[in-house]
A and B are shown apart, each in its own frame.
Chain A
Amino acid sequence: MKKSEIEELELRLLLDAMYHRYGYDFRDYARASVERRARQFLGKAGLSTISEMIPLLLHNVSFFQTLIREFSITVTEMFRDPGVYRVIKEQVFPVLQTYPFIKIWHAGCATGEEVYSLAILLQEAGLYTRATIFATDFNDEALEKAKQGIYHLENIKQCTINYQKGGGSESFSQYYQAKYDSIVMDKTLRKNITFANHNLVTDQTFGEMHLVLCRNVLIYFNKTLQNRALDLFDDSLRPGGFLCLGNKESLLFWDRAKHYEAVEESARVFQKKYQPERLNMTNGY
């Protein structure tokens, strides 16, 4: 066996151990990425082979927690890819406007910047009060930060630029208070947001959404798991509902893609087709 084949085997055993011991299932994540992170972690932990992690993982909960932190990538930013927000504002909001209540799900929301960004635009469009927003992630630490809504001040200039590019029509500074080296997001933005733990690998659907955003999460999954997550979103979306993915994520390899139409391909915003039997129903409830 070549060295790289042995490492492949070690990694498989490690992921099996993590799943059977703690229920966290990384077995269908994009392997090359997981392997890179595992290797990187070896250096930090002063170990030389991946298999040395297995006994530590099995017998030591705090080792597990460290490893999980290493495996989850929570990089995000306010109005990330501003063009996407503009498309949502200009092409999705007019449809949401026709419903008395709207339900939105951010899957894999990380530390919440994406959620606050959209909440701001909803508020500016007069849609916030009728919105129920679910923001989920499987990383409790990230969720806790999201709930706090406290972010580092350093990127504020970029946030402000992105806010404007993303279609913001007021002044970004009215949505936060600066405190020392941080900004605290305005509490009123949080009113209709529920942050909750949800795992896209093992948990079930959320009902009757009008808009599901899952950005830069599927890219970490292999094809099988991507399709599972996409099925989950499809089952959670109403006919005519919208799905928004990350810039490099697509419906290319998904068998239900035919039920969706691109609102704007480059922004990865898709609309679920109204099914034939529902066509003669009017909008809303």
Chain B
Amino acid sequence: MKEKKIKAIAVGVSAGGLKALVELFSNLPADFSLPIVVTQHLHPADDSYLATLLDRITLLKVKEAIDKETIKPGVIYLAPPNYHLLIERKETISLSSDEKVNFSRPSIDVMFESAANTWGAGLIGIILTGASSDGAKGIKIIKDAGGLTIAQDPNTAEYSMMPQAAIDTGAINNVMSLDEIGKFISSLRR
């Protein structure tokens, strides 16, 4: 495969996500230079504990995304509960309270589609554990735009439905365990 310039990583995760994200992010190096945007399905009434918790277990900064902020390298942005997270072409965040997509707000499809528009072939899309099929459409859009797509191995995922739905689209480049995904992204540079 031709060497591509990687610009960003987008992660979609649902049920079982907390444990998976902890495992994925805890070994990232302090000088990690890619921005990571994450949509994790949450209950609308959840407060922002997820960002606080993840921020503690990784060397990188983890924060709940703020509307209109500029995306910075080496920062992990989480979609807030009850808002879709979208990426603008000029690498800023837009939040939206549009209707739910796939019964979800935030929706992984919504984030993936806008991330693919912005970063095209420079995007890596990752689908982790979940009992939903959100993200399957989006991962295909990432792939069609030339991006690299990864699904957590359904056999090792706490909930297999979401990674399986992504794999079933035929748009997944690599199926990997969490550990392998972690090692792979740790090796990347912007």
Tell me which residues across on chain B come within 8 A of A3, comparing CB atoms. Answer: 145
Chain A min CB distance to B99 (Å): 6
- Is A130 an interface residue, CB under 8 A from the partner? no
Docked-complex contact B117 and A33, CB < 8 angstroms:
no
- Known A-B contacts A8-B89, A32-B87, A249-B67; A216 and B97 likewise in contact (beta carbons under 8 Å): yes
CA gap between A250 and B67 in the complex, in Å: 8
- Is A188 an interface residue, CB under 8 A from the partner? no
For chain A, residues 30 to 83, give those with C-beta under 8 angstroms from any C-beta of chain B: 30-33, 35-37, 39, 73, 75
CA gap between A7 and B114 in the complex, in Å: 12
Dominant secondary structure of chain A at its interface with chain B: helix
Residue from A4, A32, A73, A252 within 8 A of B94 (CB atoms): A32
Chain B min CB distance to A143 (Å): 20
Tell me which residues across on chain A come within 8 A of B42, comparing CB atoms. Answer: none
Docked-complex contact B66 and A75, CB < 8 angstroms:
no
Docked-complex contact A75 and B98, CB < 8 angstroms:
yes
Residue of A nearest to B95 (CB): A248
Docked-complex contact B99 and A30, CB < 8 angstroms:
no
Tell me which residues across on chain A come within 8 A of B114, comparing CB atoms. Answer: 32, 35-36
Docked-complex contact B67 and A7, CB < 8 angstroms:
no
- Is B88 an interface residue, CB under 8 A from the partner? yes
- Is B71 an interface residue, CB under 8 A from the partner? no
Tell me which residues across on chain A come within 8 A of B96, comparing CB atoms. Answer: 30, 33, 73, 219-220
- Is A223 an interface residue, CB under 8 A from the partner? yes
- Is B172 an interface residue, CB under 8 A from the partner? no
Chain A min CB distance to B40 (Å): 16
CA gap between A3 and B97 in the complex, in Å: 27
Docked-complex contact B120 and A248, CB < 8 angstroms:
no
Docked-complex contact A2 and B99, CB < 8 angstroms:
no
Most chain A CB within 10 A, of B69, B87, B117, is at B117
CA gap between A32 and B95 in the complex, in Å: 10
Residue of A nearest to B90 (CB): A31
Chain A min CB distance to B85 (Å): 10
Docked-complex contact B88 and A32, CB < 8 angstroms:
yes
CA gap between A243 and B49 in the complex, in Å: 27
- Is B74 an interface residue, CB under 8 A from the partner? no
CA gap between A223 and B66 in the complex, in Å: 12
Tell me which residues across on chain B come within 8 A of A33, comparing CB atoms. Answer: 86, 94, 96, 98
Residue of A nearest to B117 (CB): A4
CA gap between A252 and B80 in the complex, in Å: 17
Residue of A nearest to B119 (CB): A4
Residue of A nearest to B98 (CB): A73
Residue from A8, A35, A226 within 8 A of B68 (CB atoms): A226
- Is A253 an interface residue, CB under 8 A from the partner? yes
- Known A-B contacts A31-B89, A219-B96; A250 and B66 likewise in contact (beta carbons under 8 Å): yes
Chain A min CB distance to B25 (Å): 23
- Is B83 an interface residue, CB under 8 A from the partner? yes
CA gap between A8 and B116 in the complex, in Å: 13
Tell me which residues across on chain B come within 8 A of A35, comparing CB atoms. Answer: 114, 117
Tell me which residues across on chain A come within 8 A of B87, comparing CB atoms. Answer: 32
Tell me which residues across on chain A come within 8 A of B80, comparing CB atoms. Answer: 248
Chain B min CB distance to A57 (Å): 22
- With A37-B98, A222-B88, A248-B83 known, 9 other A-B pairs at CB within 8 A are A8-B117, A30-B88, A30-B96, A31-B88, A32-B86, A36-B86, A219-B67, A219-B83, A252-B68
Could you tell me which A residues sit within 8 Å of B by CB distance? 2-4, 7-8, 30-33, 35-37, 39, 73, 75, 216, 219-220, 222-223, 226, 246, 248-250, 252-253
A-B contact pairs, 13 of them (CB 8 A): A4-B145, A31-B89, A32-B86, A35-B114, A36-B86, A36-B110, A36-B114, A75-B98, A219-B67, A219-B94, A222-B88, A248-B67, A253-B68
Q: Which 10 pairs, one residue from A and one from B, show the smallest C-beta to C-beta distance?
A: A32-B86, A30-B94, A32-B114, A4-B117, A33-B96, A32-B88, A32-B94, A248-B95, A223-B68, A248-B67
